[in-house]
Amino acid sequence: MPVAPHGKHLIASEWLSGSKTFETSPAHGPAHRFAMGTVELVDVAVKAAEAAFEKYAGSSREERARFLDTIADEIEARAADITEIGTQETGLPAARLEGERGRTSGQLRLFAAHIRKGDYLDRRHDVALPDRRPAPRPELVMVQRPIGPVAVFGASNFPLAFSTAGGDTAAALAAGCPVVVKGHEAHPGTGEIVAEAIRVAIEKCGMPAGVFSLIQGGDRSVGQALVQHPLIKAVGFTGSLAGGRALFDLCAARPEPIPFFGELGSVNPMFVLPRALEARGEEIGRGWAASLTMGAGQFCTNPGIAIVVDGNAADRFVDAAADGLKQVEAQIMLTDGIAKAFNAGRDQVAQSGAARPVMVAKAEGRNASPALFETTATEFLANPQLHHEVFGPLGLVVRASSAEEVEAIARALEGQLTVTLHLDENDVAAAKALRPVLERKAGRLLVNGFPTGVEVVDSMVHGGPYPASTNFGATSVGTLSIRRFLRPVCYQNMPAALLPEDARG
């Protein structure tokens, strides 16, 4: 039977409706009505999270790991319903939703295994030295402890992996922090099903009801109330630069400022070095076209800019990329708003006078078609507008006249999630010169690949200097992301019976 959402908020294990509603705008299938979030609901949810904090933070790592595993089990038990409504709401193909669901349950299980091992606690112990002169030393024990209730904002482009039970929620729950999620209005039905999976897991594992809440939709006042609530201790956000920066500023302006972990935007530049460009530039160009258009270009790691040294090999690279893009038909975008913003961004590049169109295919309504532009290093360096992300299948080739101009571009880059180097053996010397510059610009450097796959593993870094993210020392993917929701506490001369269980190892 077709999925029929009830359209309510989940607040501390209770499904609650509201007086105001909003209607979804699905890519296909029926529209549904959902209760709209309010400032009052935010207050109820956050106070419930605070009431749950001490018990949940005091639970054992094994209890929290079992909770995370159970959430994953419950999500998988609802696989068919998630795929059905997720494809309707977003227009994403079933295979993409199924893969993203696997990533979501997989990262929950990864965090369960991670906290069972306990390495993330970074326990340190300095024994007492009572006979030390000129003064004795006390016994000191340090361990990482959960910070308190966490606010998470669902992302538009990942209805599962960066939303209701996505990476931010998984990391916070693993750390011992209750979570209040503001769901994204682009896929509230998907969020509702996932929230029900969490609610059942709470019941099965005997967790406090306030450990999780989902507030659907709502205007800007709801998000503002959430980040400004005095009981919220950190925020996880994936979204636009403008929206994220506004929330970041609110967090900083609070009487008690709190960390805002925002992943905001990136053009993920590729440097195609000369020998690789000469030997296999056409192959790289075709691969770039495929990466640019994957998922209609709606990935935060979409490689939007390619830097090459001008010449015949660069011509062949551009021609191959353009030919590859011409084979891609119009693709439906996640929301009407995203499609509109893509069209506006593409037109702004076209009208800038700083970039020449190579191929531009236009589409109507919620669809998007690829676009390819090229410019010179001089124009790129003089026009910061060209450095900005256009969220969708748009590529910009920057033609440099020399290795010196390539380095100048590298030094002028803003913070990025990723930077890619395409190189052959004879390019290694040039890559060595660029690497110290580029590692200051991005959280992940990769060679001879495309950045649109983000592995959910211990060593992954998904973050980078501003404006890629608001905290360059953090990641939103991988087990290191748990550290965002922990703080070190030192216990001096504390009897073992008073120490937290995790500090007694």
Active site residues per annotation: 263, 300
The identity of residue 374, as a single letter, is: E
* CA distances to 56, 102, 131, 380, 458 from 368, in Å: 45, 27, 74, 25, 35
- The residue length of the chain stands at 505
Q: Are strands 234-238 and 150-153 parallel, antiparallel or unpaired?
A: parallel
Instruction: Spell out the alpha helix ranges (H) of 417-498.
Output: 428-438
Show the tokens assigned to 221.
Answer: 């006042």
Show the tokens assigned to 89.
Answer: 């709401």
Contacts of 405 (CB under 8 A, 6+ apart): 377, 378
* Dihedral sign for Cα atoms in the order 286, 298, 271, 395: positive
Show the tokens assigned to 258.
Answer: 């709190």
Q: Assess contact for 474 and 484: CB atoms under 8 A.
A: yes
Supply the DSSP symbol for 376: E
Cα 102 from Cα 94, distance rounded (Å) = 12
Region of 42 (left: φ > 0; alpha: ψ -120 to 50; beta: rest) is alpha
SS3 state of residue 294: helix
Q: Are strands 331-332 and 416-422 parallel, antiparallel or unpaired?
A: unpaired
Show the tokens assigned to 317.
Answer: 């690279």
* CA distances to 71, 332, 380, 496 from 205, in Å: 10, 40, 55, 28
SS3 state of residue 126: strand
Q: Give the number of C-alpha atoms closer than 13 A to the C-alpha of residue 187, restricted to the C-beta side.
A: 32
Chain-centroid distance of CA 473 in Å reads 15
Cα 74 from Cα 164, distance rounded (Å) = 13
Backbone angles phi, psi at 60, to 5 degrees: -75, 160
